[in-house]
């Protein structure tokens, strides 16, 4: 099963400083048919105005990955962590037993990001936060965050979840293949450009839900920046 969730059909929220689209039910947007996808609970496509952001608020028992597409985000939390994550990089927060954090756009331009929440496979872990820069050059996909030991040993940020987040840029006409566990699946979004997944077309910022496939072939029909979450 490969299901396209068009960008124009996603949930919406907008106020003076935040322009958001929701792939799954979140906040004021509720669709009982879109409460998540396997261990993936939230995928928000956010644009944050300069000099604004999310004031301190709590989280618990969730793995939260933020992928910065444009601009940068500055993080502060109740553990004393503070850092700036810029375009092409990721940050991971383990909410665990409880954490309070704030996210601000301290830049002079809008910040655009994907915020992705994954259900943890280990309850009541110690809360934590980390960010890492990844190479911007080159084609193909790189694993940025993962719950798999081999990926963590290779440099991925650790996650307490059954899955991994991959991202990268595909040149027009380039194809990458990923094997998927029979009991898992994947959810992917082209942040820019256009792709096909096993021949099914997806446009910029569309969601692609994949289930029951043991392998996917992703082809960029235009140069595409791609974010992929493997589940299971």
pTM as predicted: 0.96
Domain that holds residue 44: 2-231
- Report residue 181's pLDDT band, with 50, 70 and 90 as the boundaries: confident
CATH number at residue 29: 2.60.120.10
Q: Say whether pLDDT at 148 is over 60.
A: yes
> What is the distance of C-alpha 73 from the center of its chain?
14
Query: How many other C-beta atoms can be found within 10 angstroms of the C-beta atom of residue 15?
Result: 9
pLDDT surpasses 70 at 137: no
Alpha-helical (H) ranges within 49-206 are 149-153
pLDDT at 135: 72
- 17 pLDDT higher than 70: yes
Strands of 200-202's sheet in order across: 175-179, 215-220, 195-197, 200-202
* Domain count along the chain: 1
Binning pLDDT at 50, 70 and 90, where does residue 88 land?
Answer: confident
Q: Considering the chain, what is the average pLDDT of its residues?
A: 96
* Pairing of β 140-146 and β 82-86: unpaired
CB atoms within 10 A of CB 124: 10
Look at residue 70 and tell me whether its pLDDT is greater than 90: yes
DSSP 8-state code for residue 212:
S
Q: How far apart are CA 130 and CA 59, in angstroms?
A: 16
């Amino acid at each position: 099963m490969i299901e396209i969730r068009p960008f124009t059909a996603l949930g919406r929220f907008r106020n003076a400083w935040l322009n958001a689209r929701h792939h799954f039910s979140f906040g004021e947007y509720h669709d009982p048919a879109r409460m998540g996808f396997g261990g993936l609970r939230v995928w928000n496509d956010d644009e944050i105005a300069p000099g604004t952001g999310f004031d301190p608020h709590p989280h618990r028992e969730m793995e939260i990955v933020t992928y910065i597409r444009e601009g940068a985000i500055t993080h502060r939390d109740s553990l004393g962590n503070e850092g700036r994550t810029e375009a092409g990089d990721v940050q991971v927060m383990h909410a665990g037993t409880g954490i309070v954090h704030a996210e601000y756009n301290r830049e002079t331009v809008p910040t655009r990001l994907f915020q992705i929440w994954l259900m943890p496979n280990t309850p009541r872990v110690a809360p934590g936060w980390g960010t890492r820069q990844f190479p911007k050059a080159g084609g193909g996909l790189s694993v940025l965050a993962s719950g798999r030991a081999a990926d963590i040993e290779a440099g991925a940020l650790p996650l307490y979840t059954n899955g991994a987040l991959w991202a990268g840029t595909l040149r027009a006409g380039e194809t990458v293949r990923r094997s998927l566990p029979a009991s898992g699946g994947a959810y992917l979004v082209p942040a820019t450009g256009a792709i096909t997944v096993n021949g099914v077309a997806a446009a910029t910022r569309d969601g692609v839900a994949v289930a029951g496939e043991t392998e996917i072939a992703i082809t960029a029909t235009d140069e595409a920046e791609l974010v992929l979450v493997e589940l299971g």
